[in-house]
Amino acid sequence: MTTQEAVLHPPAVISELVKNNVTHVVWLPDSETNFMYQLLTAEPSLDLVPVCREGETMAIAAGLWVGGKKPVVLIQNTGIFESGDSIRGLGLDINQPLVMLIGYRGWSRHGVTTDSAARFIEHILHAWGINYYLIETDEDAGRISIALEEAERTQKPVAVLVGTEFGA
Amino acid sequence: MIKNEDAVKIIDSKRNGSLIVPTMNANNVSFGLPTVTSAQDFDLPLSGAMSKASSLGLGLALAQPDRKVFVLDGDGSLLMNLGALVTLANKAPKNLYHFLFNNGVYAVTGGQPIPGAGSSDWEGMAKAAGYAAVFSFEDLEDLTTGIDQALAAEGPVFIHLAVEPQVENTPVQYRPRPSRSVQQAFRELPLTLGVK
């Protein structure tokens, strides 16, 4: 019996974004999404917008969206905690169909979660009524398309939790 | 010092098709842009999500590179999102003009002084962050004669305005409401721009 490697590779994620005509990735780097950086910068159809603090991302995305573009946000779960008022005022209140890719720091499928960043994030998303999907491997990447379609259909933010570190 | 209403009047008179993102006192329904705007369909007012006007304007400027975007920001507001100066300068949209209404107080909460009022160097911060050009106007005459030069400069441009504090003490729920809500503006602007 062999053990199959279960890894999420950056091309799988970027392919989903390109396929769905995403135009901008508004982001602040984190360890869960670190390996995407070089591929993101090399992808000509995606414009990377780096920020200093995560709460900027929803506002920048709102401006891009209302101006006719299709952005996503890529930050860590710790950044979601910092971004509460932006998510409220410039995500939920204005019905922005924003997909937020969120590095799921501290997540463990083994049920022992010592990191409070992981313990709180799903509760916070529930409190806001933001639906979310978990991706861990390349096979899960299609859930990004599902999230993008759902955000557009419902005109609401949708989250995608990146529950593993990317493969190189 | 410049009166808030005089500042928004002059800015509006120079818009020439520009999009305007006003917040805080610049968005006040009694003496802000809503009282004087000549092109409401091209305004994107921001109330709530305090501090994010410059970030919202950055996104709009990147999405609409052929149209100028004016952000009318507050000093207390920008203090909450100071890193946005660097974020904005880093993307360097040539079409973005960031006006700072510096009145030294949190005018919408009763006039408490903001940290650093009277001592912070706003022009220095914008220059150090990497804005392409920085202007400062201390009175109405300065603004009237200098605004064309500021708007002719390639962005991102930071325009500091020394503005008289106009303080509101009425509880929020008793203040006059804008005739056009933020939600309505977000719904309608894409239609106005022909992007939806």
Residue A122 clears pLDDT 90, i.e. is over it:
yes
Cα–Cα distance, A108 to B115 (Å, whole number): 42
Domain total of chain B = 1
Pairing outcome for strands B157-162 and B96-102: parallel
**Residues in a beta bridge with B144:** none
To the nearest whole Å, the CA of A61 is away from the closest chain B CA by 6
Question: What domains appear along chain A, each with residue ranges and CATH number?
Answer: 10-162 (3.40.50.970)
Q: How confident is the model at residue A1 (pLDDT cuts 50, 70, 90)?
A: very low
pTM: 0.96
- A36, two tokens: 């995407």
Residues of A near B (Cβ–Cβ under 8 Å) read 24, 26, 47, 49-53, 55-56, 58-69, 71, 85-86, 88-90, 93-96
Best probe of the B interface among A27, A49, A56, by most B CBs < 10 A, is A56
Mean pLDDT to the nearest integer, B97-123 = 94
**Contact list, A68 vs chain B (CB under 8 Å):** 63-64, 190, 193, 195-196
CATH number at residue B74: 3.40.50.970
At B171 the pLDDT is 81
Beta carbons of B93 and B62 less than 8 angstroms apart: yes
- A7, two tokens: 């890894």
Mean pLDDT to the nearest integer, B157-175 = 90
pLDDT per residue over B47-76, tens digit each? Answer: 888 899 999 999 999 999 999 999 999 999
Q: Which residue has the higher pLDDT, A1 or A122?
A: A122
Lowest mean pLDDT among A32-46, A148-162, B155-169: A32-46
Residue B61 contacts A where some CB pair is shorter than 8 Å? yes
Q: Is the CB of A89 less than 8 angstroms away from the CB of B81?
A: no
pLDDT per residue over A19-68, tens digit each? Answer: 999 999 999 988 777 778 888 889 999 999 999 999 999 999 999 999 99
Query: Of chain B residues 119-178, which have a CB less than 8 A from chain A?
Result: none
At A165 the pLDDT is 60
Lowest mean pLDDT among B27-36, B72-81, B140-149: B27-36
Q: Is the CB of B52 less than 8 angstroms away from the CB of A52?
A: no
Residue A166 clears pLDDT 50, i.e. is over it:
yes
Residue B139 clears pLDDT 90, i.e. is over it:
yes
To the nearest whole Å, the CA of B49 is away from the closest chain A CA by 5
To the nearest whole Å, the CA of A42 is away from the closest chain B CA by 17
Q: What domain range is B105 assigned to? A: 4-193
Cα–Cα distance, A55 to A100 (Å, whole number): 12
**Contact list, A96 vs chain B (CB under 8 Å):** 186
Three-state DSSP at A20 gives coil
**Contact list, B44 vs chain A (CB under 8 Å):** 66
At A33 the pLDDT is 76
Q: How many CB pairs under 8 A join A and B?
A: 109
Q: List C-alpha distances in Å: B32 to B4, B68, B137, B178.
A: 7, 20, 18, 11
Residue A4 clears pLDDT 70, i.e. is over it:
no
Query: Which candidate from A53, A67, A89 shows the least CB-CB separation from B63?
Result: A67
Mean pLDDT to the nearest integer, A104-128 = 91
**Contact list, A47 vs chain B (CB under 8 Å):** 62
Instruction: Tell me the ipTM for this assembly.
Output: 0.96
Cα–Cα distance, B72 to B90 (Å, whole number): 20
